Amino acid sequence: MKSTIKKYWPQYKWSNVFTMIKNIKRQPERNTEPFRDKLVVITGATAGIGYYTVRKYASMGARIIMVNRNKEKSERVVREITEKYGTPIEYILADLSLLTDIKKTGQYFLSLEKPIDVLIHNAGVHLESREETPDGLEVNFAIHYLCPLIITRMLMPKYQRDMAGRIIFVSSEAYRFVVWGLDLDDLQWKQRRYSGIKAYGAGKLAQFLVMHILAGKLAPCNVTLIAMHPGIVRTETGKDNGKLYQWYKKNIIDRYSDSPEKSAEALYYLGTSPEVAHTSDVFFHLTTEEELTPPGRDFEAAEALWEKTRELLYEKGVAL
């Protein structure tokens, strides 16, 4: 920790914080052009940001494939979107905290003949206490970091064939809570006291670091990869947490939050606008490009994280 404090402290700028605060008040850019017959894949799409993003893309003529955990909720969304917009929409069921389901999802998308025009990694979770998957992985780490990494990596052959596509990580300004960077020796919070907000932020910071590497690998395929903060909006994230968190969410967070429709507009713009067609390895606050904090733009840490992840997944039987 002392070494990272010494490393990052001189790089921090107050202007970065002030810019982030100013960006909170901004409205997202909008794209009014249709997206007819394009294929959009989105994870975590039965509620909140994912649900409104599906509605937005469907209203503009896109074909949708959702990845969700709940069959009943998925079918409800399919019925609603089909009746309202008449656009093709389907879903696959997967628990994206499980390696078997992550790989199953990646294989399904890899088998598609039609190019994936936009892939939105939106699935997320916020936990107050540490939980482990049957694979022995911390849930937050698995969903926010490993899942988008594995699926995107599995799709490399498809992108090499199709030579087109945009990928969006739905991230969060909460990465700023990880002020001194990731603890590469304790990525899954086994040795430290678990902090829900810091673990969540660490998962998002890991997303940024792997974005740097994946964006470079995808560049020859004419595929762009970006991350975005969806704004302060009302979602169901953390709905299974304790009563104290529920009270705080209802009376503080949700009270001062916007509708997820705001995030959906930003995700549509980032996925379709010609203005960002060739923009990759960049973080957006909604649709405004924003400089990452020092830990988020540390390419040396990104390479170290990649190697740590490769070793971890090899032990779990997954090749990176």
Look up tokens 């209802």; give the residue: 250
Radius of gyration of the chain (CA): 19
Residue 98: CA count within 13 A, CB half-sphere: 10
* 31 occurs within a structural domain: yes
* 320 occurs within a structural domain: no
Give the span between the Cα atoms of 303 and 184, in whole angstroms. Answer: 11
**Mean pLDDT calculated for residue range 102-112:** 98
Write down the pTM of the prediction. 0.93
Angstrom CA distances, 192 to 140, 142, 286, 305, stand at 15, 18, 32, 18
When pLDDT is cut at 50, 70 and 90, the band that residue 2 belongs to is: low
When pLDDT is cut at 50, 70 and 90, the band that residue 244 belongs to is: very low
pLDDT score of 248: 41
Look up tokens 């939980």; give the residue: 131
Q: Which domain holds residue 209?
A: 2-315
Of residues 300, 225, 296, the one with CA closest to residue 20: 296
> How do residues 267-278 score in pLDDT, each as one tens digit?
999 999 999 999
- Contact in structure between 167 and 42 (CB atoms under 8 Å): no
Instruction: Write the CATH number for 56.
Output: 3.40.50.720
User: What's the number of domains the chain is made of?
Assistant: 1
Average model confidence (pLDDT) for the chain? 92
